[in-house]
Structure 1
Amino acid sequence: MSSANQFPGAPRRNFYGRTHGKQLRPAQRRYLDEDLPRLTVHGVEWEENPDRAPLDLKTIFEGRPVWLEIGFGGGEHLAAMARRYPDIGFIGCEPFVNGIAMLLGKLREGGQQNVRLHPGDARNLFDVLPEGSIERAFLNYPDPWPKARHHRRRFVTEEHLLPLRRAMAPGAMLRVATDIEDYVRQTLEEVPQAGFTRVEHDIGTAWEDWPSTRYEQKALREGRRPHYMSFLR
């Protein structure tokens, strides 16, 4: 999970999120040791791909369409979607080790074979995704960065949205779920400015195939209203 900034020629990118939390259980450490190397998408980090050659997703996923989840948290949504759509290849991007370990446990239990992971900064992954290769993308309950001076750290900014748009196929859908009212405001402002078209629907109604996550359940317990927004590339 090295930073791109440490490699000569890499762009300067500040990373503000956490990468480690509470101590892992022995089983979670085993998942990281045994499963993460096999499921990691190689050729993303600058050290192993300094020329930024595009990934061969057709080989990685045996020709399946590819969907991307950015910041999968504890992995509930990603594991459920991979089980529901076995003919889709999924890439999950998450720098938080504890969340990665939780997802790996779910994949062991559920037996999903159509998931690959990038355990690091999503921007490094965007560098090497082939243009137009992603057919659906998910941003679920991203870090809200609630202080006004930190709003530029949110994912829904030009720095992230423009390379994501390049990687998405024409007509591909971006789904954003959040319980933070100001994140809704910024999403509705900045995502269209980055070249996406909003899909008009009731943003208080979840998608038909939406599997609720622990973050959503916490928001509901604490009285915050979830919002669900869709955009087309």
Structure 2
Amino acid sequence: MTTLITGASSGLGAEMARQLAARGEDLALCARRADRLEELRAELLAAHPDRRVEVRTLDVTDHDAVFAVVRDFADTLGRIDRVVVNAGLGKGAPLGTGRFDANRDTAMTNFVAALAQVEAAMEVFRGQGGGHLVMVSSMSAMRGMPKSMTTYGATKAGVAHLVEGLRAEFYGTSGYDFTVLYPGYIASEMNAGVAAAENRMMVPTEKGVAAMVAAIEKKKDSACVPALPWTPLSVVMKHAPLPVYRRMI
């Protein structure tokens, strides 16, 4: 099994690489920071010398480069069995407060660049007759979010729908699998400013990613991760009256 992970140089992506390598998978890892990728590659090969780990530098907002890198991985490795669209950006501002630049960057990285990654992955999968596409969305996709989270949540809802659309298109077609992950509060570089003491629902990176990897390996259609408390909370988030929902967030 060969898995390609974008945004793999740190945080959830790097930990996914560690846990998938431990499960015996070969890896294609890409991110912007070449030095961090090389450090991760060395770490993985030291722990699992029989694994194959290929790395490429990639800024996912360079759409031509996305296609070039994914095609290069496929040519080099012979096949890509799974692509995890993980690269993302967490910045944002309340709409109408003069920070269109921040919201635009988040939209371009989290949706448009994700679209490029999905297009590149599906090009490979269609060519080889199958594959497993995994989208890292967010619990913020469950319902419109206020203030600085508005654009971020909208992008995460959008990318989830990309994969849902593909699942509908390929329903009944053997060899194709589609998974959407909805992580809750999992410690990572993106949320490093939020201390665990300030958010009691924050779980360590290793524990949160273990739940993500378990859902990936089971090829679940969708999964809130970790399942507790996020699966029941997803129902509340979707259906609570607005005054209740507003107090929750």
Query: Deviation string for 1:70-125 (max 9, x for gaps)?
Result: 120222221221122x2x32111122134214313422541343211122343321
Provide the secondary structure at the position in 2 that maps to 1:72.
Answer: coil
Q: Which of 85, 106, 111 lines up with 1:139 in the alignment?
A: 85
Equivalent position amino acid for 1:124 in 2? A
Per the alignment, residue 96 of structure 1 pairs with: 33
* Seq. identity, %: 12
Aligned partner of 2:15 among 69, 72, 76: 76
Amino acid in the other structure paired with 1:174:
V
Distance 2:43 2:138 in 1: 23
Whether 1:66 aligns to 2:12 is no
In structure 2, list runs of 5 or more residues that go unmatched: 59-64, 93-101, 140-151, 169-176, 203-207, 223-249
Change in CA separation of 1:134 and 1:149 when aligned onto 2, cut-off 3 Å? same
RMSD between superposed Cα atoms in Å: 4.1
TM-score, length of structure 1 as denominator length: 0.51
Match of 1:114 among 52, 74, 98: 52
Question: Conserved in 1, the CA contact under 8 Å of 2:7 and 2:31?
Answer: yes
Distance 1:153 1:117, change over 3 A: same
Residue matched to 1:159: 116
Tell me which protein shows more helix as a share of its residues. Answer: 2
Shift of 1:69: 0.8
1:201 CA displacement: 8.3
| Counterpart AA for 1:139 | V
> Could you say if the C-alpha distance between residues 220 and 177 of structure 1 is closer, same or farther in structure 2, counting changes exceeding 3 Å?
farther
1:188 is aligned to 2:160: yes
Q: 1:24-48 CA deviation, whole Å, 9 max, x = no partner?
A: xxxxxxxxxxxxxxxxxxxxxxxxx
Q: Give the number of the structure with larger relative contact order, counting CA–CA contacts within 8 Å between residues 6 or more apart.
A: 1
Contact 2:134/2:181, CA 8 A, preserved across alignment: no
- 2:145 corresponds in structure 1 to none
SS at match of 1:134: coil
**Do the aligned partners of 2:2 and 2:82 also contact (CA within 8 Å) in 1?**
yes
Q: Letter of the 2:124 partner, please give it.
A: A
How many Å separate the matches in 2 of 1:204 and 1:104?
25
Contact kept? 1:145, 1:153, Cα under 8 Å = no
**1:172: which partner in 2?**
132
Counterpart-to-counterpart distance in 1, 2:41 and 2:71: 25
> In 2, distance between residues paired with 1:134 and 1:89?
10
Unaligned runs of 5+ in 1: 1-64, 207-211
Which residue of structure 2 lines up, in the alignment, with residue 10 of structure 1?
Answer: none
- Greater shift, 68-77 or 170-179, is seen at 170-179
Contact 1:73–1:99 at 8 Å: present in 2 too?
yes
Q: How many residues are aligned here?
A: 159
C-alpha distance 202-76 of structure 1, shift in aligned 2 (>3 A): closer
